[in-house]
């Protein structure tokens, strides 16, 4: 019986360790919606987003956008919620409408 308890405890620790970087549902990095959006978006746009997101926090802020003159010029209209950051969704929408 103690071996079973030990295995159950070890399994629980492994599961909990895997959940440390888990982000609940929403647009945050690691969320289900975010993953689905990345899967549905053109791979080149997703890759470009990650290149511009230099600190890998899941958004492109004004300082990161400065590395792209095209994006910086369109930043104000692309930032739909006015938080001075571009989410993946805002970035994809702005790049899709630029074509």
Domains contained in the chain, CATH given: 24-98 (1.10.238.10)
pLDDT by residue (tens digit) across 1-13? 566 666 565 555 5
pLDDT of residue 38: 85
Whose tokens are 């990095």? That residue is 29
pLDDT by residue (tens digit) across 29-87? 567 777 888 888 899 999 999 999 999 999 999 999 999 999 999 999 999 999 999 99
| Structure tokens that stand for 45 in this block | 């746009």
Name the strand (E) or helix (H) holding 60.
strand 60-61
pTM for the full predicted model: 0.65
45 to 13, 37, 42, 89, 94: CA distances (angstroms): 37, 11, 6, 11, 10
3-state secondary structure of 44: helix
């Amino acid at each position: 019986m103690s071996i079973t308890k030990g295995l159950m405890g070890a399994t629980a620790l492994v599961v909990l360790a895997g959940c440390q970087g888990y982000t609940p549902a929403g647009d945050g990095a690691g969320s289900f919606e975010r993953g689905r959006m990345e899967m549905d978006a053109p791979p080149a746009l997703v890759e470009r987003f990650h290149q511009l997101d230099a600190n890998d926090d899941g958004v492109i802020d004004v300082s990161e956008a400065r590395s792209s003159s095209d994006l910086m010029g369109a930043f104000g209209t692309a930032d739909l919620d006015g938080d001075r950051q571009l989410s993946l969704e805002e970035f994809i929408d702005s790049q899709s409408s630029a074509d």
